[in-house]
Structure 1
Amino acid sequence: MTQRIGTAATIRRVAGIATAVLAATALSAGCGFISGTGSTGTGSTPEASASADPKAALLAAVPAEDGPGFRFTTVDGTDKIVGVVDPAAHAMELGLTQENEDPKFTMKMTFRMIDDKSWMRVELKGIPGLHEMMKLPKRWMALDRTKLHDPTDAPVYEGTDPANAAAIIRTADTVEDKGDGTYTGFADLTRGQEVATAVDGVDIAALGEAAKKVPFTAVVGADGNLSSLTLDIPAGGKQKATKLTVRYYDFGKAPKLSEPTGDEVQKAPTSAYELLND
């Protein structure tokens, strides 16, 4: 699942391109290589009686701008994005780690967004000198939106629901309160672009009519906040059945986010924009 425009979708796309470019560069350079080297805190759920309006109750549990900061993870097939949302600072950070086998190295790509400002950091392990070969610094890189082919793709802060859980829940005609903080329903993935973007890795057309009734399970924690939402995507076309899961956790305990300063940041070099603009 991804954020509305340009955040998780961008990092997933760029990370895939970057890994391929890094692998090709390492191989063409003929360099040797060596092997490189949060809990979700479920807590207890409330034992409340069934809600009078389960759908409204579930939507009310989705993180809001006036709520505390939190951590999140989204698992979309084999991709796992981790991040932090800091509503008070209008800030979000998200990262994705990918491993390449031939040659063997690990890349972690992280974006930090505060309002409309964005920074990117790339960490490479497993091949000595790969940062230098790719001309990618190890520090945070401040991004200039005007240097992107499509500035609307630049990651920016877009609110407190990075997985678009609310958009998915709204498509359900009815939601059932199962008790103990658990809710179930059926999402219609064909209802609008925001929902389609939320499941950008899913071939909705291949699902046919099944896309209009995708089962989901949501859990609300004892603190009243949505702690997880899982979509059970059926098989369709060449697409295997899979689960898409988001977890929101550590409400009030997540780190505060601020702009990188001093020696920890520099302007993004041309090599960074080459990855983003590919």
Structure 2
Amino acid sequence: MNLARGPLHAMAAIAVLSLGLTGCAGNDSTTTGATGAPAASGNASADGARADLAAAAAELQKGNFVFTATGHEEKTTGTMHLPSRSASLVVTSPDKEDGDSKMEVRLVDGKQYRLLLIETPEQDRVDPSELPPDFRSVYEALSGKFWMRMDTTKIKPNGRSREMRLDQPDISGASAMLTTVVTADRTGEVIKGTVDLSAVPIHNTPWVQSDITAMGSAAQKVPFEATLTGQRRLTRLALDLPATTDAPAHRRVIEIKDYDAAKPTTKPQGEIRDAPDETYDLLNR
């Protein structure tokens, strides 16, 4: 992620950071399994692979796992523990030139908390007291010095960053992508094929609509490689993504572990403030 330099541009980075959550918000509640367009061959091997992918997607919907996702200039880690009705996400983006960025989100007891950090280069730092009040509140919110208590009713459901929802427990986003399988072929524990990203609800991907549009027809046949255990649980999903407006062609990898063994997320320690209205303005762009 290449954030524009300067404190005012850094404030807008909160909207860019939120993209990591867009792709991890979970599976649409109407999704039932891997039900993409039928494979051309329609053979028993392909049907068996599809059934295994559907089973893997169902396992993720149980909401008890830990995952890591890596892609172009971004890393996301997360935990979903549905038994305690809690979850967490950490999105990081290193940038040697403009400073690293980080967003951490926790969902505990029905309340959402966020910590945001943009490490502004020393030459671009300013005294917050010199900024207009509305800019100052967001600049301080990006300091990473305190947590913000979010009013999720102020976050647009179709915006860049929507709240985590316990009724959509696959915060890895993997099961949503497995619902649009076009072709599938199994070799041992590995299933290879293609998925149609243009058919995945946009809020279940780490991209915005302009990214999918920029992929063109390539979005309809994105190569994937899924590794499943003998229990038909997904441990790794790799997608070979075509270039978009903002990123070159690259591989996105989601790794999942600790099924039925994730730990509950706890309420943040330290200072917690109510998120300023300006924060919602940026999140909802």
TM-score between the two structures when normalised by the length of structure 1: 0.66
Deviation at 1:218, TM superposition (A): 0.2
Give the match for residue 135 of structure 1: 140
**Which consecutive unaligned segments of at least 5 residues does structure 2 have?**
11-44, 129-138
Using the alignment, how far apart are the partners of 2:214 and 2:9 within structure 1? Answer: 37
Q: 2:190 aligns with which of 182, 187, 191?
A: 182
Residue identity opposite 1:234 in structure 2: P
Using the alignment, how far apart are the partners of 2:194 and 2:201 within structure 1? Answer: 17
Residue identity opposite 1:59 in structure 2: A
Deviations 1:50-88 (A, max 9, x none): 797221112212334446x22212223222211111121
Deviation at 1:256, TM superposition (A): 1.0
Aligned length: 233
TM-score between the two structures when normalised by the length of structure 2: 0.64
Deviation at 1:272, TM superposition (A): 4.0
Tell me the secondary structure at the aligned position of residue 135 of structure 1.
Answer: helix
Seen in structure 2, the aligned counterparts of structure 1 residues 248 and 115 have a Cα distance that, compared at 3 Å, is farther
Using the alignment, how far apart are the partners of 1:25 and 1:195 within structure 2? Answer: 28
Deviation at 1:186, TM superposition (A): 1.3
- Equivalent residue runs for 1:40-189 within 5 Å: 53-62=48-57, 63-66=59-62, 69-102=64-97, 105-114=99-108, 117-123=111-117, 133=128, 134-136=139-141, 138-148=145-155, 150=156, 153=159, 154-158=162-166, 159-179=168-188, 181-189=189-197
Seen in structure 2, the aligned counterparts of structure 1 residues 131 and 260 have a Cα distance that, compared at 3 Å, is farther
Deviation at 1:106, TM superposition (A): 3.1
Using the alignment, how far apart are the partners of 2:217 and 2:94 within structure 1? Answer: 36
Seen in structure 2, the aligned counterparts of structure 1 residues 135 and 77 have a Cα distance that, compared at 3 Å, is closer
Deviations 1:211-246 (A, max 9, x none): 322211000135542111111123478863222221
Deviation at 1:116, TM superposition (A): 5.4
Seen in structure 2, the aligned counterparts of structure 1 residues 217 and 274 have a Cα distance that, compared at 3 Å, is same
Given that residues 7 and 120 in structure 2 are in contact (C-alpha distance below 8 angstroms), is that contact kept between their aligned partners in structure 1?
Answer: no
Residue identity opposite 1:122 in structure 2: L
Given that residues 86 and 106 in structure 2 are in contact (C-alpha distance below 8 angstroms), is that contact kept between their aligned partners in structure 1?
Answer: yes
Using the alignment, how far apart are the partners of 1:123 and 1:131 within structure 2? Answer: 15
Given that residues 124 and 131 in structure 1 are in contact (C-alpha distance below 8 angstroms), is that contact kept between their aligned partners in structure 2?
Answer: no
Tell me the secondary structure at the aligned position of residue 53 of structure 1.
Answer: helix
Seen in structure 2, the aligned counterparts of structure 1 residues 99 and 87 have a Cα distance that, compared at 3 Å, is same
Using the alignment, how far apart are the partners of 2:9 and 2:211 within structure 1? Answer: 33
Using the alignment, how far apart are the partners of 2:127 and 2:113 within structure 1? Answer: 19
When the two chains are superposed, the root-mean-square deviation of aligned CA atoms in Å is 3.8
Seen in structure 2, the aligned counterparts of structure 1 residues 185 and 277 have a Cα distance that, compared at 3 Å, is closer
Give the match for residue 200 of structure 1: 207
Residue identity opposite 1:205 in structure 2: T
Give the match for residue 213 of structure 1: 221
Residue identity opposite 1:94 in structure 2: L
Give the match for residue 254 of structure 1: 262
Identity of aligned residues (%): 27
Seen in structure 2, the aligned counterparts of structure 1 residues 23 and 70 have a Cα distance that, compared at 3 Å, is farther
Tell me the secondary structure at the aligned position of residue 155 of structure 1.
Answer: coil
Using the alignment, how far apart are the partners of 2:215 and 2:73 within structure 1? Answer: 20
Given that residues 240 and 251 in structure 2 are in contact (C-alpha distance below 8 angstroms), is that contact kept between their aligned partners in structure 1?
Answer: yes
Give the match for residue 6 of structure 2: 23
Moved more, 234-243 or 163-172: 234-243
